[in-house]
Amino acid sequence: MTLTGAPAVAEALDLLAGRPLVVLTGAGLSTDSGIPDYRGPGSVPRQPMTYQEFVSGADARQRYWARVHVGWGKFRGADPNDGHRALARLDPALLITQNVDGLHEASGQRRLVALHGRIADVVCLDCRRQTPRTALEHRLAELNPGWREDHADLVLRPDGDVEVDDWAGFVVAGCEACGGVLKPDVVFFGENVPKDRVARCYDAVDALREIDGALLVAGSSLAVMSGLRFVRRAARDGTPVVIVNRGTTRGDELAAYRLEVGCSEFLTTLTARAEELRGS
């Protein structure tokens, strides 16, 4: 059921506050930190670069890095919001995030699976060496002096990039170890989430059945299977599912409640209620 009023929120809070939880978060949780989402109200539909396109040739990678180099300066300045901080205090049995922004880690979240990786890491597709994104961005700034400043007025998009129309002059950096192709260490569209991450999430969701727990989804439209599969698994096992999201989701029919309320507001209230119960 999709509900918006105070009684529905109260019922959902009663359902969740005293139970062990697994929490699944999506881009809607980070909008209060200034990072736009893909499918929320006011978002502009767009097709992110796929893995297949990224590896298709140098021109695609040049376009990609020209855009994200500008966006990185805006993206890395984001701070955790009240929703992130509330979840860190709530300390669920496991927090599963589809976000790559690292804001859950920055808020002090203890038990976390970043399904799609972290945008702050870079991997070489040839030698598999991992390096910090900050080091690569420093190299890109040296290779492309003034590029970020010349495009500073462009608007940040959900993938952490901006819309740059002419990237012909942008110089792409290769791996310092082998000269190979560098890619953010995140799961692009067209790639699979690593099996060990998926297995850990399934284990946590399955455990809810034995401990009378619940699955809470915050800020995800569940448009991609990487998150929806956990909702389906919980519903199959009879585990209650509560979805908090601005807009419909692919999991609505499986949820006990789908609430049209803000993530930060709901999570702050839920955490306060749970802390009261722990202290009683």
Catalytic residues: 116
Residues 161 and 70: beta-carbon distance below 8 Å = yes
First to last CA, the chain: 31
- Regarding beta strands 257-259 and 2-3, do their DSSP bridges make them parallel or antiparallel, or are they unpaired? parallel
Q: Number of H helices and number of E strands within the chain?
A: 10, 10
* Residue 201 marked in a binding site: no
Distance in angstroms (rounded) separating the CA atoms of residues 126 and 59: 18
Dihedral sign, Cα of residue 119, residue 124, residue 128, residue 132: negative
* Residue 127 marked in a binding site: yes
Q: Containing H/E element for 10?
A: helix 6-17
- Residues that constitute the known binding site for Zn(2+): 124, 127, 175, 178
Residue ranges of the annotated binding site are 124, 127, 175, 178
